[in-house]
């Protein structure tokens, strides 16, 4: 049983709701019906970081008081029942949730009429989540369609303090004053943000399997350079391509912009191995993880802004040692781990010749060591054929580091071949 299952059992017992017995979900929907022989499978996920404005203005530092926030996500796995997980992992006080709803997304802050349903926590409309904890809500019978957007609305009546959040949502979150959790139209929601707050997971009930994929890494996975509200990050396109190929499955994006392999950061999240259990191993229904991370470690020593600290010089040997640790962790949990080569970055803000030598050495090891179960060669997919140390112009978002939508589409195409090949 995973840490998250144990956590859910303990919290559910405290709340008086039986959610999990020996890893099999037994749940009661709003109609009172029960189902067995199904388990909870992760359908959408967002990795969390502490509150902070270092990466740009957002609502996390001040938190919320008397606000309703409306957030839209795109689940990748269908199901007839759903539940959400909220995180106060980095909060400095208990998080009071006054009420919550789920609905099918409409235009802007609006939701589709007739689809709004209240959510509950241990049978109550609200909850108090301790600092350092996550809470999974009650299940409701509510059809979820794969790759079709859902909106989760939270009413935060009392001061929350600094908010645990995901900075680079590439999705618009809306805020209103007062309780508008059940509103159909979006008229009251006159503020917006590009981040997700507190919402860390959406699960659906289904037959036990390990078909799902976690895509783990930094901003190249998180989707810097993608278009807001267009779901064209590479994990989004990967989920679409797998469905078109007749191999639909959950694809969970647990990238964090600025995240690193070697160093923890107060600003851009815990290092890869520190968060690997929470953001990969504890996900249900997952059989494969794709790792693409390390370019921030290589470039950090060239940047002296607060958000990049600590910023030691990192060599190939240090990165490889951490990759080996992640490989061991994945395999110990029965996961297949796929290594992604680091794309070209010459011309980026933190490029250096020293860093380029490290990137070349790391990519050679990823390709040739045989230590990963498979390799997705993102470098060769994205490189300019005439100058392989730079991103091809058609793939470059403009900063010479992050792909745009065309580049993310190319990355997804490369990953599909690995996931659907004979070894899958």
pTM above 0.75, yes or no: yes
pLDDT of residue 304: 87
Helical axes 234-244 vs 405-419, angle rounded to 10°: 50
Please give the C-alpha separations between residue 89 and each of 101, 186, 315, 350, in angstroms, as whole numbers: 21, 29, 31, 31
Bridge-based pairing of strands 336-340 and 374-376 is parallel
pLDDT of residue 55: 75
Residue 51 in contact with residue 165, Cβ under 8 Å? yes
pLDDT of residue 16: 36
Low-confidence ranges of the chain (pLDDT < 70): 1-36, 422-424
pLDDT of residue 422: 64
pLDDT of residue 179: 98
pLDDT of residue 92: 97
SS3 label, residue 276? helix
User: What contacts 223, CB < 8 A, 6 or more positions away?
Assistant: 168, 170, 232, 233, 234, 235, 236, 253, 255, 408
pLDDT of residue 236: 98
Distance (Å, whole) CA 177 – CA 408: 37
Q: Does domain 209-419 have CATH number 3.40.50.1110?
A: yes
299, exposed or middle or buried, with CB in 10 Å at 0-12, 13-18, 19+?
A: buried
62, 107, 184, 236: CA torsion to nearest 10: -70
pLDDT of residue 187: 98
pLDDT of residue 20: 32
Boundaries of CATH 3.40.50.1110 in the chain?
209-419
pLDDT of residue 196: 98
């Amino acid at each position: 049983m995973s840490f998250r299952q144990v956590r859910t059992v303990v919290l559910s017992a405290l709340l008086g709701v039986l959610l999990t017995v020996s890893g099999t979900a037994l749940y009661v929907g709003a109609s009172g019906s029960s189902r067995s022989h199904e388990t909870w499978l992760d359908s959408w996920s967002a990795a969390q970081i502490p509150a902070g404005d270092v990466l740009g203005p957002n609502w996390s530092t001040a938190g919320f008081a008397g606000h309703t926030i409306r957030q839209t996500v795109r689940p990748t796995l269908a199901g007839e029942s759903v539940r959400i997980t909220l995180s106060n992992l980095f909060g400095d006080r208990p998080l009071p949730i006054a009420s919550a709803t789920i609905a099918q997304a409409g235009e802007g802050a609006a939701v589709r009429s007739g689809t709004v349903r209240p959510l509950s926590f241990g049978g109550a409309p609200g909850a108090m989540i301790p600092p350092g904890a996550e809470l999974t809500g009650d299940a409701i019978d509510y059809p979820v369609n794969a790759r079709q957007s859902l909106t989760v609305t939270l009413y935060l009546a009392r001061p929350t303090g600094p908010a645990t959040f995901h900075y680079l949502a590439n999705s618009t979150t809306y805020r209103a004053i007062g309780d508008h959790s059940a509103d159909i139209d979006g008229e009251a929601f006159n503020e917006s943000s590009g981040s997700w707050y507190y919402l860390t997971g959406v699960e659906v009930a289904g037959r036990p399997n390990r078909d799902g994929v976690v895509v783990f890494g930094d901003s190249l996975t998180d989707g810097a350079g993608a278009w807001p509200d267009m779901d064209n990050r590479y994990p989004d396109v990967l989920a679409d391509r797998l469905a078109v190929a007749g191999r639909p499955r959950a694809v969970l994006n647990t990238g964090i912009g600025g995240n690193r392999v070697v160093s923890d950061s107060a600003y851009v999240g815990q290092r890869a191995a520190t968060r690997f259990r929470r953001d990969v191993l504890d996900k249900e229904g997952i059989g494969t993880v794709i790792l693409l991370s390390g370019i921030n470690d290589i470039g950090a020593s060239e940047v002296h802004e607060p958000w990049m600290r600590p910023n030691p010089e990192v060599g190939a040997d240090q990165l490889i040692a951490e990759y080996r640790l992640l490989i061991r962790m994945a395999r110990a949990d029965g996961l297949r781990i796929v290594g992604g080569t680091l794309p070209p970055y010459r011309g980026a803000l933190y490029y250096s010749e020293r860093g380029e030598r490290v990137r070349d050495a790391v990519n050679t090891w990823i390709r040739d060591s045989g230590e990963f179960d498979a390799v997705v060669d993102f470098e060769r997919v994205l490189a300019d054929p005439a100058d392989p140390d730079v991103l091809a112009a058609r793939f470059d978002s403009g900063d010479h580091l992050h792909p745009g939508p065309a580049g993310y589409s190319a990355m997804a195409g490369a990953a599909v071949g690995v996931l659907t090949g004979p070894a899958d």
